[in-house]
Amino acid sequence: MCRLVAYLGGPETTLSSLVLEPEHSLLVQSYAPGEMMSGVVNADGFGVGWYAPWGGEEPAVYRSGSPLWADRSFAGMAAKIRSSGVFAAVRSATPGLPAEESGVPPFASGRFTFMHNGAIEGFRHGPMRALRDCLSDESYAGLLGVTDSETVFAVALDRLGEGAGLGKALEEAVRRVSGVCAGLGRRATLNLALTDGRGMAFVRHSTEGPGNSLYLLEDGERFPGGVVVASERLNGDAGWRAVPDRSLLTVNRERGVSVRPLGT
């Protein structure tokens, strides 16, 4: 189980303003999460992806297999890097999957960045083969590790390659994963996040029972003019609101924020 935070704004913000500085920052959530459904800490690595207008369409990505609290190099640079599009996560490895850098979110391919908070039950014993067998050659060749998260991203990448938008790609990935898991009698918790630096899409979904927590903040006191989406509220701002279970959230610079039930 992981914790994640994403930002899209007109104004640029520092990486540290999202990851390190708030009273319930991602750093705090790495050792003292408040709403995790399984696991106690997120000590199996962390990563940050951000978009720089002078750097082209592809994001810069910094990932480490070490806990966030142990990385002094990131702490030293985070206050000096600014971006209007940021994805960041801390990881608690799914039981049965290795704790190594290849499994640390966010994952990136081309201009797309992806995160997954959740797990596919018994992933390496059935779901892994079924999901990877349906991938295009290109997406399959891009896999670096054996995690459920990277595999779900590959499923979404195939939908993006067919022309789907961010939200549609996530919906179709959820539909595919849910179908495979239903056929094998496996549970999947699928809080998914996808961005191309210009827009963002999120799914809060679980095949059984409630999904993992997810919150939305628009034009917050510390993030004026921006949108923040996080597994747990970063601070006491009264503007935070819960994203409904089994829903799709999309954020677009021109069209703003939209939340609707999945599949509608």
Identity of the amino acid at 115:
M
Report the pLDDT value the prediction gives residue 127, as an integer from 0 to 100: 95
In the set 1, 2, 180, 203, the catalytic residue is: 2
Low-confidence ranges of the chain (pLDDT < 70): 1, 94-100, 264
Report the pLDDT value the prediction gives residue 86, as an integer from 0 to 100: 98
Report the pLDDT value the prediction gives residue 56, as an integer from 0 to 100: 82
Report the pLDDT value the prediction gives residue 187, as an integer from 0 to 100: 94
For 25, the token pair is 């920052």
Report the pLDDT value the prediction gives residue 95, as an integer from 0 to 100: 58
pLDDT digit string, tens, across residues 59-114: 999 999 899 999 989 999 999 999 999 999 999 776 555 566 778 999 999 999 99
Tell the residue number behind the tokens 């009273």, with chain if given.
23
pLDDT digit string, tens, across residues 194-214: 999 999 999 999 999 888 999
Q: Which of 127, 145, 214, 203 is nearest to 172 (CA)?
A: 203
Count the helix, strand and coil residues of the chain and give each as a percent rounded to the nearest 5.
Answer: 25, 30, 40
Concerning whether 2 is annotated as a catalytic residue, the answer is yes
Q: How far apart are CA 245 and CA 210, in angstroms?
A: 7
Produce one character per residue of 123-149: b if its CB has 16 or more CB atoms within 10 Å, e if not. Answer: beebbbebbbeebeeebeebbeebbbb
* Fold type of domain 2-261: Glutamine Phosphoribosylpyrophosphate, subunit 1, domain 1 (3.60.20)
Other CB atoms within a 10 A radius of the CB of residue 73 amount to: 9
pTM of the predicted model as reported, rounded to 2 decimal places: 0.95
Q: What residue segments make up the domains of the chain, in order of their start? A: 2-261
User: Which residues does 148 contact at the CB level (< 8 Å), separation at least 6?
Assistant: 94, 97, 116, 119, 120, 123, 127, 128
